[in-house]
Amino acid sequence: MEQTPARLIEMPSWLLTQLSIHAHRLSSDAFAEVGARGYHYRILSSLDEFGIASQAELGRYSNMDRSDVVAAVNELAEQGCLERTPDPHDRRRNLVSLTKTGERQLRRLDRALDTAQESLLEPLAAEDRAALTRMLGQLLAHHQRAQR
């Protein structure tokens, strides 16, 4: 940052944007190494944590657009990571569930993302990492509430 204007370095929004670009690249590269994308991680994580869900619910859990959910679910179904079954109460929608293959893929993605997180946060001590994560979570929660 030696050639960056001081007024930019002093702006949290600029710093967050620059770091976001770097974090996205690290995460995308880590996912690509195991043949996946960030959307796959979001879907698999949601199914693991919340259980069987409709595609619309997955979109809400994962903060994804409906068309992106459909594409990711299709890809994951082709890989055997999840199953779609018709909802017995509403035949117009599918229920999506995680398979054993999906559980294994999620563990691979967790390990890949752990490596990316380690690289991203390398210069910070453990307590600073925890504090940064907590503060970023507070900011995100505040702005998500404000959007509702």
- pTM attached to this predicted model: 0.87
Domains belonging to the chain, first-starting first, are: 37-116 (1.10.10.10)
What's the pLDDT score for residue 144? 85
80: left (phi over 0), alpha (psi -120 to 50) or beta: left
Token pair of 5, please?
A: 């204007």
Cβ 55 vs Cβ 69: under 8 Å = yes
61-93 per-position pLDDT tens digit = 999 999 999 999 999 999 999 999 998 888 888
